[in-house]
Copies of this chain bind each other. A is one copy, B any other.
Amino acid sequence: MKEGGSLRVPTNLGFTAKDIAKAVQRGDVIIVIDVLRCCSTIVTALANAAEGVIPTKTVKEARALHKKHPEFILAGERRGIKPKGFNLGNSPLEFSPQKVKGKHIILTTTSGTKAIISSKKAKYVFTGAFLNAEATAKATLKIAEWEGTGISLILAGTNGRFSLEDFICAGAIAKDFPTDNIEYSDAVSVALLAFQQARKSLDKVIRSGYHARYLISQGFKEDVKFCCRLNVFQIVSFLKGETVVPFITSATET
């Protein structure tokens, strides 16, 4: 591994998506975190047997791709709301097995899908949420150990600003790295402290955040509640080419 004979995996935390470039440069395994709601929606869709989720940067690009592939589901949001003509918004509750099973989903969101796309040059890009925190921690640690790289937890945030829920989720993921194998950076350590304090009333703490309050004001209270649940899914979401798919070992061999 990289640090003078140490076998411990160094971890880093990017407070906003601006920190992606450095993480890619370091060769880190990247975990993009966007709890409300992009990464929660992605893992829910995959858990409900969607074939894959294709993140796109703009509404225009999403529409163009849908024109080519009208059999795909067109989903996403701007300012939290489903754009005109889209099949689904960005509410994980909409991505039921009835709607998504066996389907590809084109997804464009304000912050999350952009952060995933910005990370594309990295060899390994995962998306993380409370819903699959533990599974994500375990899979990414294995890969980082195997590859001899670090892990970067990237907070997608909200329109470029720091997000409380993404930071606390970084702590939730960090909690499931076995401490003997990991070198916590200062930022990862404090995210872990914040999570340990917040977990007693995770739902209440997340609701105090800026973006949760906005979503609740727009009628998405149930979404916030849904996204605050820990380790509901064992699915690990992995960007393979252009598409986020469930991670299986063979995916690392492509």
With A196-B197, A197-B196, A197-B197 in contact, is A167–B185 under 8 Å at CB?
Answer: no
Q: Does A210 contact B (CB under 8 A)?
A: yes
Residue in B162, B164, B167, B186 whose beta carbon sits within 8 Å of that of A163 in the complex: B186
Minimum CB–CB distance from A48 to chain B (whole Å) comes to: 30
Q: Does A65 contact B (CB under 8 A)?
A: no
Q: Are A193 and B205 in contact (CB under 8 A)?
A: yes
Residue ID in chain B nearest A166 by CB atoms: B186
Q: Are B190 and A194 in contact (CB under 8 A)?
A: yes
Interface membership of chain A positions 2-22, coded 1 if the CB is closer than 8 angstroms to chain B and 0 otherwise: 000000000000010000000
Main secondary structure of the interface of A (DSSP, over half): helix
Q: How large is the interface on A (under 10, 10 to 19, 20 to 34, 35 or more residues)?
A: 20 to 34
Q: What are the 7 closest A-B residue pairs judged by CB atoms, nearest first?
A: A164-B186, A197-B197, A193-B194, A193-B197, A190-B194, A194-B194, A196-B197
Q: In A92-135, which residues have CB < 8 Å from any B CB?
A: none
Interface membership of chain A positions 136-165, coded 1 if the CB is closer than 8 angstroms to chain B and 0 otherwise: 000000000000000000000000011110
- Chain B CB within 10 A, most for which of A168, A187, A190: A190
Residue ID in chain B nearest A165 by CB atoms: B186
| A-B pairs with beta carbons under 8 Å apart, 30 shown | A15-B15, A15-B162, A161-B186, A162-B186, A163-B186, A164-B186, A164-B187, A164-B189, A164-B190, A167-B186, A167-B190, A168-B190, A168-B193, A184-B208, A185-B210, A186-B209, A186-B210, A189-B205, A189-B208, A189-B209, A190-B191, A190-B194, A193-B193, A193-B194, A193-B197, A193-B198, A193-B205, A194-B194, A194-B197, A197-B197
Q: How far is the CA of A161 from the CA of B167 in the complex (A)?
A: 17
Residue ID in chain B nearest A13 by CB atoms: B162
Q: How far is the CA of A196 from the CA of B164 in the complex (A)?
A: 16
Q: In A163-204, which residues have CB < 8 Å from any B CB?
A: 163-164, 167-168, 184-187, 189-191, 193-194, 196-198
Residue ID in chain B nearest A210 by CB atoms: B186
- Chain B CB within 10 A, most for which of A167, A185, A197: A197
